[in-house]
């Protein structure tokens, strides 16, 4: 990965009067971090993976081969008093769609959602200023790429509108769907309304099987005064089974463990840590580590005890979490499963969000190059079918 080319953190004003500021990660100040966290709270679309509470522990503790720390692009008011948009990027010399130098959204090994944090009140102006600024960076970058950003929400519409003001073009590499809970659509009786008779029978059979092991309860955890205890229980469950055997559990790496513990501490202090547990005789046998961001919730990691596999505690935990959201998370817009395609969560959470991966080309040269690569991809697909 190439060395990061940056400017100083001085701002560059746009025609709207807003400033776009480049901030190397090592130049972060406590004052900016505080404004960044406040922007997340007021963002059009929540994104816990762009939160300072996630990014800072990730950069400080994870052992991934990151040649580049994230470059922060921030859009501010003219006097610098208001933070209106934030994105985290690194420089890419080449990609499947754009074989030219461009910005790529920064991701660590645990990043599961992409995009920008954008202020609800001034987001449209902020994004217009950002694309205006990007269109003038042709000597440095030909576009800006994202992986798995939302494709069907308000932020997507705002991005496309802002891009059009400078003739920036979105070239999609791929799209996919991911299971979510749409909180305002959760019915009073989830079992009867959302699932077939066979699926209801499967859930009830699992509950009876788990009940043979002891008294089964479900509860919210992760309060600041108990966060350390609840996170320890989660980490131990997540390390059981195949994740521990393959060395991919958070406890398998000292850096990953430190990252998770600091992340949890930060989230709990802001009341943004939501751990949901399935317990047998008051002992956790399944645990889901969730992160709140603005009005959205992100289901980061799950763990369960394989000794109770016959009772499917992981599946039941997701089912009871879904059933609880109407009463306990009424101020949340959606809960994103952050799951892979084909995950069992898709059979429990029936709603979907569409994600898109690709690049906004911000110069004419970049657009021509991405257009050529897109046509080449289509030709290859045609030849495979022939």
Name the nearest CA neighbour of 108 among 153, 50, 151.
50
Which CATH number goes with the domain that contains 381? 3.40.630
Q: Each residue of 35-60: pLDDT tens digit? A: 999 999 999 999 999 999 999 999 99
Give one word for 268, left, alpha or beta, with left for phi > 0 and alpha for psi -120 to 50.
alpha
* Residue 273 pLDDT > 90: yes
Where are the alpha helices (H) located in the chain, listed in sequence order? 30-41, 52-61, 123-135, 154-164, 190-194, 197-211, 227-238, 242-246, 254-269, 313-328, 364-385
Q: What is the pLDDT of residue 383?
A: 81
Domain assignment of residue 4, yes or no? no
Same domain, 152 and 27: yes
Query: Mean pLDDT across the chain, nearest whole number?
Result: 93
Q: What is the CATH number of the domain that holds 279?
A: 3.40.630.30
User: Domain check: are 194 and 309 in the same one?
Assistant: yes
How much of the chain, in percent, has pLDDT values that exceed 90?
88
Task: Give dist(CA 245, CA 242) in Å, integer.
Answer: 5
**Looking at residue 5, what is its pLDDT?**
37
In terms of Cβ atoms closer than 10 Å to its own Cβ (0-12, 13-18, 19+), residue 31 is: exposed
Query: Are 336 and 381 within one domain?
Result: no
**The predicted structure's pLDDT at residue 64:** 64
Q: What is the DSSP string of 48-111?
A: GGGSHHHHHHHHHH--S--SSPPEEEEEE-TTS--EEEEEEEEEES--SS--S-EEEE---TT-
Q: 125 and 18 in contact (C-beta within 8 Å)?
A: yes
Average confidence (pLDDT) over 16-26: 94
- Collapse the DSSP code of 180 into the 3-class scheme (helix H, G, I; strand E, B; otherwise coil) and give the result: strand
Rounded to two decimals, what is the model's pTM? 0.94
Label residue 295 exposed, middle or buried (CB < 10 Å: 0-12, 13-18, 19+). middle
Confidence of residue 242 (pLDDT cuts 50, 70, 90): confident
Helix (H, G, I), strand (E, B) or coil at 330: coil
Checking if the pLDDT of 4 tops 60, the result is no
pLDDT score, position 66: 57
Which DSSP string do the residues of 12-36 spell out, in sequence order?
A: EE-TTS-EEEEEEGGG--HHHHHHH
| Rounded Cα distance, 329 and 300, in Å | 17
Domain count, the chain: 2
* pLDDT (average), residues 146-174: 96
Regarding whether 164 and 117 lie in a shared domain, the answer is: yes
Give the residue-averaged pLDDT of 89-110: 95
92 near 106, Cβ under 8 Å?
no
Q: For residue 52, is it within any domain?
A: yes
Residues 114, 162 share a domain: yes
According to DSSP, the β-strands at 334-336 and 296-304 are parallel
> pLDDT band at 33, cuts 50/70/90?
very high
- The yes-or-no verdict on residue 293 having pLDDT over 60 is yes
Please tell me the predicted confidence (pLDDT) of residue 379: 83
**pLDDT of the residue at 41:** 98
Are 81 and 144 within one domain?
yes
Q: Say if 174 falls within a structural domain.
A: no
Distance between CA atoms of 204 and 53, rounded to whole angstroms?
39
Please report the pLDDT score of residue 7 as a whole number. Answer: 41
Closest to 61 in 3D by CA, of 258, 301, 249: 258
CA dist., res. 299 & res. 290, Å (int):
4
Neighbours of 245 (CB within 10 A): 11
Please give the torsion angle defined by the CA atoms of residues 96, 98, 103 and 105, in that order, rounded to the nearest 10 degrees: -30
Whole-number Cα distances in Å, 338 to 37, 77, 209, 230:
22, 33, 28, 21
Average of per-residue pLDDT across 22-47: 96
- β-bridge mates for residue 155, sequence order: none
- Residue 51 and residue 115 in one domain: yes
Q: How confident is the model at residue 10 (pLDDT cuts 50, 70, 90)?
A: low
Interval 73-89 mean pLDDT: 95
378 and 330 fall within a common domain: no
pLDDT average, residue stretch 345-366: 97
Residues spanned by the domain of 378: 11-168+362-385
pLDDT at residue 68, as a whole number: 73
Is the confidence at residue 1, as pLDDT, over 60? no
Residue range 333-338: mean pLDDT, rounded: 97
Per-residue pLDDT reduced to its tens digit, 203-223:
999 999 999 999 999 999 998
Query: What does the DSSP 8-state code read for residue 6?
Result: -
As given in the structure block, the two tokens for residue 242 are: 């195949």
User: Residue 177 above 80 pLDDT?
Assistant: yes
Mean pLDDT of 113-117: 97
pLDDT at 65 over 90: no
**Residue 11's pLDDT band (boundaries 50, 70, 90)?**
low
Q: Are 164 and 190 in the same domain?
A: no
Say what percent of the chain tops pLDDT 70: 96
Please tell me the predicted confidence (pLDDT) of residue 144: 98
CB atoms within 10 A of CB 172: 12
Same-domain status, 28 and 164: yes
pLDDT at 9: 45
**284 near 277, Cβ under 8 Å?**
yes
Residue 137 is classified by DSSP as -
Same domain assignment for residues 346 and 205 = yes
**Distance set, CA 262 to CA 28, 60, 105, 110, 316 (Å):** 18, 10, 23, 14, 28
CB atoms within 10 A of CB 32: 18
Whether residues 334 and 264 fall in one domain? yes
């Amino acid at each position: 990965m190439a060395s990061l080319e940056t400017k100083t953190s001085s701002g560059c004003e746009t025609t709207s009067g807003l400033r776009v500021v480049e901030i190397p990660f090592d130049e972060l100040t406590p004052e900016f971090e505080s404004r960044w966290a406040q922007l997340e709270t007021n963002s059009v679309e929540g994104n816990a993976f762009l939160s300072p509470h996630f990014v800072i522990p990730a950069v400080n503790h994870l052992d991934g081969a990151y040649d580049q720390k994230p470059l922060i692009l921030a859009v501010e008011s003219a006097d610098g008093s208001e933070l209106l948009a934030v994105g985290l990027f690194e420089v890419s010399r080449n990609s499947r769609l754009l074989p030219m130098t461009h910005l790529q959204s920064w991701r660590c090994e645990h990043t599961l959602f992409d995009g920008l944090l954008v202020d609800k009140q001034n987001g449209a102006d902020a994004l217009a200023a950002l694309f205006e600024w990007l269109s003038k960076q042709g000597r440095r970058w030909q576009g800006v790429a994202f992986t798995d950003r939302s494709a069907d929400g308000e932020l997507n519409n705002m991005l496309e509108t802002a891009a059009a003001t400078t003739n920036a073009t979105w070239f999609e590499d791929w799209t996919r769907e991911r299971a979510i809970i749409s909180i305002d659509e959760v019915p009073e009786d989830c079992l009867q309304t959302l699932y077939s008779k066979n699926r209801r029978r499967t859930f009830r059979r699992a509950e009876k099987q788990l009940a043979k092991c002891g008294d089964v309860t479900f509860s919210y955890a992760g309060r600041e005064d108990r966060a350390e205890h609840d996170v320890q229980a989660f980490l131990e469950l997540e390390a059981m089974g195949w994740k521990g055997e393959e060395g991919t559990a958070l406890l398998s790496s000292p850096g990953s463990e430190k990252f998770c513990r600091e992340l949890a501490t930060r989230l709990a202090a802001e009341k943004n840590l939501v751990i949901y547990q399935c317990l047998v005789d008051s002992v956790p046998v399944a645990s889901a580590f969730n992160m709140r961001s603005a009005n959205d919730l992100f289901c980061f990691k799950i763990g369960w005890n394989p000794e109770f596999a016959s009772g499917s505690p992981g599946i039941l935990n997701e089912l009871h979490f879904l059933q609880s959201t109407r009463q306990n998370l009424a101020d949340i817009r959606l809960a994103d499963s952050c799951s892979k395609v084909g995950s069992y969560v898709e059979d429990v959470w029936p709603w979907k969000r569409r994600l898109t991966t690709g690049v906004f080309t911000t110069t004419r040269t970049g657009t021509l190059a991405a257009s050529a690569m897109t046509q080449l991809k289509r030709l290859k697909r045609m030849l495979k079918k022939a």
